[in-house]
Amino acid sequence: MSRSPTRLLPAIMLAAAAFPLAAQDGPEPDLVTGTFAGTQVVNVHSVEVVPRKRSFGFMIQHRFGEVGADKDAWSQFAGLDLPANIRFAFQYAPLRDMHVELGRSKNGKVWDLGLKARILKQTEGSGMPVSMTVLGNAGFMSEAFPKVSDRDFFADGVTPFAYTFAHRFSYSAQVIFGRRFTRWFSAQLAPVFVYRNLVPVGGSNTSLALAGAARFKVTTKGSILVETSPVLAGRQTAGQREPLALAYEVATLGHVFQLVLASSQEIIDQRLYTTPSARYDEGRFHLGFNIARILFVKPRPPRP
């Protein structure tokens, strides 16, 4: 004779309650740390977040003007004499494995606000094979709009063009998958989505890219970083090249310094993947640096 569902319900609830307790009997797996040294690889975001609740981060990203491997490199002092782009960013971790970030860039006078959260953590052994972090960012261009002529129209070619407040906004989102393969090698891959409210005539509001990056440790504190980000959709020009970057990094506890060679002067995603890069196939590049500092706050003692 079969039992009614009503009589089986207490047994099912008891089994469901006992399952988490049984899962906690075994030892917790060891987490893999230090996949990358900071929250940025070079230009692209890393899987790392501000590592401790209530701690702060501060970052300076600087890109000098474009130069090539010719006499201009000396006359322009490797681009230091040319107009540069710089971004300052402040980070705060209100919760564990999450931080908010407020940045300001010179190009476009863009303010950006982002939220970054680590969802999965790689573990030692046969547990979780990768780390996963999600990121969302909104940018606000505060630079004055250029003047509009009588010959400027919207995409329909009929309506006279006029700037609106919404044209100042742009957005990006990405999911980052990273893995530390050995003590000396880490890599990550991230699909990136960008949407801009304002684009040139014939341009695409939406852009998609695939950001790849790797870290090769060459000394205890020194690493070589490489990254490339193919633009899969929404290229703004037919000849738009993929953003590339190379850096040498020196990292200590809470401090990261990078000397950078980059194909673009842009830094935030909304501009990095939507503006032309330097002709690196002709030896042209941007010299720059990144400086990041984490200010750790001691955990609050448990209440008695």
- The pLDDT of residue 153 is 81
- At residue 90, φ and ψ (nearest 5 deg) are -120, 135
Residue 29 has pLDDT above 70, yes or no: yes
CA atoms within 13 A on the CB side of 116: 25
Is residue 156 included in any domain, yes or no?
yes
- The pLDDT of residue 206 is 95
Domain count, the chain: 1
- Write the CATH number for 70: 2.40.160.40
Q: What is the mean pLDDT of the chain?
A: 88
Is residue 185 included in any domain, yes or no?
yes
Q: Which is nearest to 208 in space by CA: 188, 231, 190, 189?
A: 231
Is residue 289 included in any domain, yes or no?
yes
- The pLDDT of residue 149 is 81
CA–CA separation, 41 and 280 (whole Å): 20
Residue 2 has pLDDT above 50, yes or no: no
Is residue 15 included in any domain, yes or no?
no
Is residue 181 included in any domain, yes or no?
yes
- The pLDDT of residue 152 is 81
Give the burial class of 75: count Cβ atoms within 10 A of its Cβ; 0-12 exposed, 13-18 middle, 19 or more buried.
Answer: exposed
- The pLDDT of residue 8 is 47
Is residue 6 included in any domain, yes or no?
no
Is residue 4 included in any domain, yes or no?
no
Give the model confidence (pLDDT) of 117-146 as tens digits: 999 999 998 889 999 999 999 999 999 998
For a pLDDT cut of 90, what percent of the chain falls above it?
65
- The pLDDT of residue 68 is 85
Give the model confidence (pLDDT) of 173-203 as tens digits: 999 999 999 999 999 999 999 999 998 877 8
Is residue 136 included in any domain, yes or no?
yes
Residue 18 has pLDDT above 70, yes or no: no
**Domain extent for 42:** 29-143+152-295
How many other β-carbons are positioned within 10 Å of the β-carbon of residue 293? 14
- The pLDDT of residue 180 is 97
